[in-house]
Structure 1
């Protein structure tokens, strides 16, 4: 008994020491960050919460209204207090953004965010930094090049056509027009599309609305949108203080971990089957595989061929686990962005019937139901509509970076500091966080003029010179970021959304099924339409098939 008690005491003492170390480290980190040079910048007048900083008031508002007020009051560069008291730089300054986005060695994703991404997605392209990211991106680039996306466009048209047929049948059943939550259906369609294009895997969510594939079910569980604030707070704290999450993971975290395990299990089975097929094609030998041998349309097959190439430096080769980690990265990036962007496009066009008709006239003039990528890209008004949707209804509203070294960030537009002095460059210390406010940048009146909050596709006929300074990989837009960590799949996403819009607008007239004022969007990292009455994430639309 004495030995057992002593052992229990020893374990308890060890755990207590770890907790004490974690708490002391946290308090030291809090004290250090409270001395950040960012305290010299203008900051909101509202008193920050010790735990949530200014983030709580930001997330409780509608469509980044608090951030927009801060920009009006403080200018385009200011500091807020983030979680647990950390200072966070917020800037829309083009020169500062260029410095931050291109100096990825100094400004990677915050460790807490990477920890959360790794736990739910693995060490894929959305997690990796440094050399690991460069190796992954180098092997994935061919799959996201224009020539390969031309091959993918047939899949996008196929899934768009399938969705149109489902909606058309719903109209017939309803005797004419039908009310549908289009976000739900677009989520199914885009998950089907990325499954086929990314993995050559058929989820078949549009074929059978009652069926939920095991991989799709695991994915949906990880990225549920109906978690309570308390559940999300617990997950957030687990990310910030890992020991608490390790000792007391909580029900939601256990469900996420179980779903991740199932996703990995199914994903590894897919990878092993495809790897065996690649080797069989080349006689079970990698001697004749080179990086130009890119036959096969799905992204994982392209990646495996490139990864098995005989002329690839072995130090740049990805492990099976790294290849596996690309699957959830593809699913979340290719599915979430496309579904929400297409939904917001329908929202914008439903609110602007004349624009909807103008776009439909352009699309009906195309003499095929399955246009090529070049034919889609040759449609000027479709391009303008999509660019305006990406600008005004950006899905990912902000991203964060963290300084890993002390640095000085130059400003194009000087600001007045808290002490009344003019500031032409911002000093940051190691550990300071930076918010890149995509929503604010895309809607900046300094860039787009006084009508920046209006949906006006025609502005893309001649974008203002001020917008050309935005350092995004897509010209005049911050929606896909810029620099070495810009979205690798931005061309893929644009082609996919264009194909879906093509099929929907050619097939239906549509209008909102409720008053515009009954919809809102809560401020968050991902922006989705919600009902004020229930806060459910959806977009109810009345569809009428064209004769």
Structure 2
């Protein structure tokens, strides 16, 4: 009886404690609310309890993000739970301070760092300050151009398996294929072999799906289901008790999504640990060259360098294991999403697809499989990738009420930061406050949550011109607007915030582009892609953007599963 009572009381007590801490935290933030933020214009919240949260993170929030950016300016006040003040920012000068000059003040939000620590371990996404810099120092060499050049043959090998499987499906006639699933499998196999030195997928129709694969694919959807709890409840309770106690509470709570996340974390950690131990044994025995990838994969190289590093620089085993799931998740979902968008765009714009195919085939006829230098030198391929990563699409979406509207989407719409100290945030373009006065800076109180809007920066008409909302690869073949060069966007890639900037910029952004370009080169030389006539594709915004088919979410046909049905036809059977 006492055991049953304990199983009931402890979870209830934990939830009550979290609610109490949440109310206390919000009360403090309301008491410290700054007049400068209160004076900023912003959209009315949907509710007092959740503020603008559901508008910012709605699956279909494209119009909301566009409207507030055009209506209220580059720095906007949004409401959090119980009326707390938060910032929505895409002003270039403000972003420079957020991610570069004052990055030690505007750190990753607590829910992001702590949550990633629980899910992935102590990897790049869950460390801050000197700890984070030490990890990047160890990882930088494996993302160097010299190392990536050696990865190109492996990328071709994996992508050729995808090409051969698709060729069997379309050998007799054009066939509709759900491409997102195949691109996700390919992206996982690419990072599996090149990142972990491990093969997860044969990329055949009858190939067995590794449990790690299904867990990584399910992670994004589970994140979305727990979004509000991750933002506002988890930061208050993640330090309570031991890991064993926390696990007990999770097991006892009647919360299906939380249990799904628990099972995913167990699978990721178990698989990463097994791969790590096998690699460690191979390194000590000197047989790493016999492993998948020949011992040149990211983790093998990292482990070898780590063994020879000084005591001060060496990473503990737990942190190396933490990098494994971190890199795999970050590389798989973002790459498959970007490739899905590009193929969808090329299907919508067949003249662009044909122009790109001609460029690839011409160079391939002269040089064979393109190496690293050839791939990065293809101007139109680079333009298509850059423009897709900037705006990522001009999407004509068939809405539920049978009206058409233009929607644009990024890979990840917003990133969050929290002010660890009170600080002044300067602006490059003044914002007119509610009192009628122009504001050239904002005093940001300690603990203020800030949404850094990637999507609004990447399509800002003040910087990119009046056609900023249009998908035009040709814009990258001529000089960019002078206003963009003067703005000094702090992004690490092409005046874009897609891969962020500063000390927490995406360490693998060149790696990701290389994967994308190899896959596109192989597929476009063999196949033509077009849209199905009877299906309308839309894109969910929350988390990492993913495609779906209009109507299926209404009918309940596996609504959570991303889908990108494209008609694939073979170009030249003799070439395969």
Scaled by the length of structure 1, the TM-score of the pair is: 0.89
Residue of structure 1 in register with 2:425 after alignment: 409
Equivalent residue in structure 2 for 1:239, among 224, 228, 234: 234
Q: Counterpart of 2:567 in 1: which secondary structure?
A: strand
Structure 1's 472 and 233: CA in aligned 2 closer, same or farther, altered over 3 A? closer
Residue of structure 2 in register with 1:541 after alignment: 566
Q: Is the 8 A contact 1:79 1:90 kept in 2?
A: yes
Residue of structure 2 in register with 1:287 after alignment: none
CA distance in structure 2 between the aligned counterparts of 1:327 and 1:465, rounded to whole angstroms: 41
Residue of structure 1 in register with 2:87 after alignment: 89
Structure 1's 24 and 238: CA in aligned 2 closer, same or farther, altered over 3 A? closer
Equivalent residue in structure 2 for 1:215, among 212, 216, 237: 212
Superposition deviation, residue 209 in structure 1: 4.1
Residue of structure 2 in register with 1:474 after alignment: 493
Superposition deviation, residue 205 in structure 1: 4.4
Residue of structure 1 in register with 2:45 after alignment: 47
1:312-391 alignment, distance < 5 Å? 312-365=309-362, 366-367=364-365, 368=367, 370-391=369-390
Residue of structure 1 in register with 2:480 after alignment: 463
CA distance in structure 1 between the aligned counterparts of 2:281 and 2:333, rounded to whole angstroms: 30
Superposition deviation, residue 515 in structure 1: 6.6
CA deviation string 1:177-227 (max 9, x = no partner)? 01011111100111011000001101124035451113223323434x3x6
CA distance in structure 2 between the aligned counterparts of 1:250 and 1:62, rounded to whole angstroms: 25
Bigger Cα displacement from structure 2, 229-238 vs 19-28: 229-238
Structure 1's 381 and 331: CA in aligned 2 closer, same or farther, altered over 3 A? same
Q: Please tell me whether residue 119 in structure 1 is matched to residue 94 in structure 2.
A: no
CA deviation string 1:264-285 (max 9, x = no partner)? 22211211221222233399xx
CA deviation string 1:290-312 (max 9, x = no partner)? xxxx9932000111011111xx3
Equivalent residue in structure 2 for 1:280, among 285, 296, 301: 285
Q: Is the 8 A contact 1:519 1:532 kept in 2?
A: yes
Bigger Cα displacement from structure 2, 476-485 vs 36-45: 36-45
Q: Is the 8 A contact 1:267 1:324 kept in 2?
A: yes
CA distance in structure 2 between the aligned counterparts of 1:236 and 1:430, rounded to whole angstroms: 17
Structure 1's 217 and 522: CA in aligned 2 closer, same or farther, altered over 3 A? closer
Superposition deviation, residue 360 in structure 1: 0.5
CA deviation string 1:141-196 (max 9, x = no partner)? 01101111111111222222211111111002xx2101011111100111011000
Equivalent residue in structure 1 for 2:275, among 260, 264, 270: 270
Equivalent residue in structure 2 for 1:423, among 435, 439, 460: 439
Equivalent residue in structure 2 for 1:527, among 545, 549, 554: 545
Scaled by the length of structure 2, the TM-score of the pair is: 0.85
Q: Counterpart of 1:386 in 2: which secondary structure?
A: helix
CA distance in structure 2 between the aligned counterparts of 1:22 and 1:379, rounded to whole angstroms: 54
CA deviation string 1:320-340 (max 9, x = no partner)? 111111111111111111111
CA distance in structure 2 between the aligned counterparts of 1:495 and 1:229, rounded to whole angstroms: 29
Residue of structure 1 in register with 2:182 after alignment: 185
Q: Please tell me whether residue 26 in structure 1 is matched to residue 22 in structure 2.
A: yes
Equivalent residue in structure 1 for 2:58, among 41, 60, 64: 60
CA distance in structure 2 between the aligned counterparts of 1:228 and 1:78, rounded to whole angstroms: 26
Q: Counterpart of 1:108 in 2: which secondary structure?
A: strand
1:89-108 alignment, distance < 5 Å? 89-102=87-100, 103-108=102-107
Q: Counterpart of 1:487 in 2: which secondary structure?
A: coil
CA distance in structure 2 between the aligned counterparts of 1:431 and 1:360, rounded to whole angstroms: 50
CA distance in structure 1 between the aligned counterparts of 2:226 and 2:45, rounded to whole angstroms: 25
Q: Is the 8 A contact 1:113 1:239 kept in 2?
A: no
CA deviation string 1:340-376 (max 9, x = no partner)? 1111111111111111111010001123553111110
Superposition deviation, residue 18 in structure 1: 6.4
Bigger Cα displacement from structure 2, 414-423 vs 139-148: 414-423
Structure 1's 155 and 466: CA in aligned 2 closer, same or farther, altered over 3 A? farther
Pairwise CA RMSD: 2.8
Bigger Cα displacement from structure 2, 487-496 vs 79-88: 79-88
Structure 1's 19 and 167: CA in aligned 2 closer, same or farther, altered over 3 A? closer
Superposition deviation, residue 418 in structure 1: 2.0
Residue of structure 1 in register with 2:243 after alignment: none
Count, aligned residues: 525
Consecutive unaligned residues of structure 1, counting only runs of 5 or more, are 284-293
CA distance in structure 1 between the aligned counterparts of 2:59 and 2:203, rounded to whole angstroms: 35
Superposition deviation, residue 8 in structure 1: 7.4
CA deviation string 1:491-516 (max 9, x = no partner)? 10010001111111111111111478
CA deviation string 1:59-94 (max 9, x = no partner)? 336352111111121111111013454422111111
Superposition deviation, residue 52 in structure 1: 2.2
Structure 1's 105 and 233: CA in aligned 2 closer, same or farther, altered over 3 A? closer
Q: Counterpart of 1:316 in 2: which secondary structure?
A: coil
Q: Is the 8 A contact 2:177 2:568 kept in 1?
A: yes
Residue of structure 1 in register with 2:525 after alignment: 506
Superposition deviation, residue 255 in structure 1: 2.7
